[in-house]
Amino acid sequence: MKDKIIRGITEDKYVRFFAVDSTETVREAKKIHNLSITNSVIMGRAISAALILGVDLKSASNVMTLKIDGDGNCGHVIVTSNNLGEVKAYMRNPEYETPLNMQTKRLDIKAALGNGTLTLIKDLGMKQPYVGQVELLYGEIAQDLAYYFVKSEQIPTSVGLGVLVDQDGSIRKSGGFMIQLMPNTPDEIITKIEDNLAKFPNLTDVMDMGFDIEEIINKFILKDMNPKVTLTSEAKYKCNCSREKFRTALSLLDKEELIEAMEKDEDIVTECHFCNKTYAFNSIEIKEFLENKK
């Protein structure tokens, strides 16, 4: 089944919501990057978050980047998305596995990320992108993202992100949701949402029971609040790298390095960190590139 993102608002216009089933997308990311179990969870959560944020962009040419910079072994993650539900991701040490927390018998995501920052970059096609940043206070991504919206944009927000991984490392379910309060939301509505969230089980466990993301919003998160879906979009892992883009990137290399490769008749091989595709440029192509640069 194809992954799905939904966006909507309650009938009274006080609460807007986003939700995503990113299972197939995260499976593709795991395959591309050969992710460990720990990193499947980390990148999977970041992918779900980026898909939710990206679908709220106004134009397909706009780009949302979610960046985590922590000092842990798995603390460097970059995910970009757009409003078409297309996402790509990269992380350092993708195969690194973090030992279980011996007290909780669970993955210690906070320790894997370490101390650092969460940054959101919105490229809206203007001279300068919008950049917002917060400290990684919780290390669970969902809570840090909710903290970002409260601190940086003053929007009361609740975020849930999850990745359910089987013992063999395969992705069973992956998804997320985000609930945001509009200005002047009555206290009774806030209390109702808080009550619903307090009673809600683990997100991916509910998905694994067979509930899709729209049912989860209707029957659990915003129960009895008449949520109305205003947008449904497909989600998928898609890298927009190309040979031509990497050919242009040759200009980042020293001219002497290009000339040396051309004279030795050696290929220059470049690799995309988001999809691991490689592009090789032979001496003839390097010569043409240098001549066009004159």
63 CB-near residues (< 8 Å, 6+ apart) = 54, 57, 80, 81, 82, 122, 123
pLDDT band at 294 (very low <50, low <70, confident <90, very high): low
Instruction: For the chain, list the domains and their CATH numbers.
Output: 3-237 (3.55.30.10), 243-293 (3.90.1280.10)
The model's pTM? 0.93
pLDDT digits (tens, 9 = 90+) for 163-205: 999 988 999 999 999 999 999 999 999 999 999 999 998 999 9
Q: Packing angle between helix 255-263 and helix 283-293, nearest 10 degrees?
A: 140
CA distance 223 to 125: 38
pLDDT digits (tens, 9 = 90+) for 11-46: 999 999 999 999 999 999 999 999 999 999 999 999
Query: 274: which 2 tokens?
Result: 């988001």
pLDDT digits (tens, 9 = 90+) for 229-240: 999 999 999 999
The residue written with tokens 């990193």 in the block is: 39
CA distance 289 to 123: 29
CA distance 61 to 261: 36
- One-letter amino acid at 59 equals S
Query: By three-state DSSP, how is residue 21 classified?
Result: strand
Kindly list the distances between the CA atom of residue 94 and the CA atoms of 32, 74, 86, 87, 151, in Å, as whole numbers in the listed order. Answer: 10, 7, 21, 17, 30
CA distance 220 to 207: 12
- Calculate mean pLDDT across residues 210-228: 96
Using only C-alpha atoms, the chain has a radius of gyration, in whole angstroms, of 21
What is the H or E stretch that residue 81 is in? strand 76-81
| Burial class of residue 90 in the structure, from the number of CB atoms within 10 Å of its CB (0-12 exposed, 13-18 middle, 19+ buried) | buried
Task: Please give the span between the terminal C-alpha atoms of the chain, in angstroms, as a whole number.
Answer: 51
pLDDT for res 293? 67
Closest to 73 in 3D by CA, of 33, 108, 49, 48: 108
pLDDT digits (tens, 9 = 90+) for 264-293: 888 888 899 999 999 998 888 888 877 776
